[in-house]
Structure 1
């Protein structure tokens, strides 16, 4: 096994001379530790050799007080350098996980690197994983967990995006936590792409207690969003960050702000669950503009709550004034539904409402751009 490890590590790590290569330093780390040095001080070592600030070193040195020699930390640093981690990377890693310096290169770190290389990860990819995973890289089962996640997420980059926010996934029990949660979400109608998208927004979800995940699903269904619907993933995202008390309070705020009945607020939340994550002040401004200025009926908004997800300053208000200007100047050939003017892309909006009027309203594009920046052109106000 050791011969196989050396073979794979030789391919992973850059070759120099036989005595100075990172591989040589990795394997030599298995040698007996040097005799304790009479002047070895952990805090000074962390500052002078590992690159930590004095404050960082003071904070983490207590976790390394048992070290009497730099032999093992030096071997770990050689291992990290061989993977390509910079001095700054090593300093950040040690500050986050000082016990990494106590890991055995031969028994733990090298076998993990061999396992990851066997999955097809390159040296830079392993280095990125070390920086993200920290203490979880020291677990001997990290390669088997990573193999499962690579299969689930489909690519290393997609997996990294989740691990950046939830590296503890690499420490979760696959059979008792991760796999049951994935199986349950699939039972709820979520496909692999849906689960990946959900994990990007709620990275801790898969590593949560399965009972908690079931409670989140039940809460999402309580919003009137059935399993398997297109909005179910969005509903899970919304309720994952809110307690039942906060959800109830937000629903009550929505009813008051938009003058909705119980039925109307139920429709709105089921069609756009993410509205629950919007700040109260932000929704209040939308309510005042859409109802008081635009003149939309509360029921109209309730059945089209997606409009509340767009920027008031950068989209809702500027487009309203463009359409208002065109109508009042007789430049629209027929009435347009306001909701449709909001949800279309910027490119389509320009093609339908700006470009056709370059001659009749030469300043329209300029005024629209100003409105999107938060400025209100005089032509829009006086129109």
Structure 2
């Protein structure tokens, strides 16, 4: 069965323009993504950079941003459903689009008009690929304790010199630009500032890509900043505003991860259903056995619940209402669902599910990382509880 099975999902598309957009997305999936999404490409660690160039030319790397700067003017409700489709076809692609969008968030939301006019057209539709640099070797979920420093030289208008190491950077070493969070002041969240750093900046070096359980086609690497100099014109927002910018980006980014997770889960379910209706044991398809039928029903129900939750959160965002709690809930539920559904899909296929001949084993390995990136699911529970009961007592 061809991958990209989310194409069979009945979409909730608010406009004719959105429906045309999905026709384009499905055409690209059928012609350019699905034929190359086989396990062999992922196992070989091939990153499809040429595909991201095509997505940029097609307007799919800036869907949720303002058309004034090359974006697609699409509501998040539509953008996330596009992500789900792309992730169902190949998670390396769906997650890559989500990370690129995350890397554009700071400049689009907090940059000056001059900065936006100079940089956003190329970032959103000019073939560039972005990455987001928040985590460090010793500060993942505790992002406020980051140690990468940016020191200003030459007075108020002087350049900034960035020194330190970032870790777990998707697109590390291949991105054209990085949104970097660095310490410019004292300890804690108030001492962090955001910068837009060119991918070819002198003193910026990527380590060898991490050797991962899954997502091998998507490079993840440490980045070393050895006195990387950037002008003050590349500072995003005010000095000390970086942590607030990062949290704002993560709220939106978590919805992207939620959509990607549901895409992977849907692809796994469709593989499981196709196999169960074809595979015969004891003289009939295994889908006729009640135990397995109930298993498939539970998988489908969990997927629908996750999809409804991320779309509800997206509509809050589109309406300009607070959505941080719902974003954390969506990321938590959708990624846990992806892990459960992909594990069950392997079980449905039995021994075949454990082989490379079917994609469900890859889906299972890929689903695991979605419970970790952009805030582990334990952190999501902390975020949700904080909204419900206030900050933890000390």
For this structure pair, what is the TM-score category when the shorter chain's length is used for normalisation?
Answer: under 0.3
TM-score (norm: length of structure 1): 0.22
Larger RCO: Structure 1 or Structure 2 (Cα < 8 Å, ≥ 6 residues apart)? 2
Larger radius of gyration: 1
Higher strand share: 2
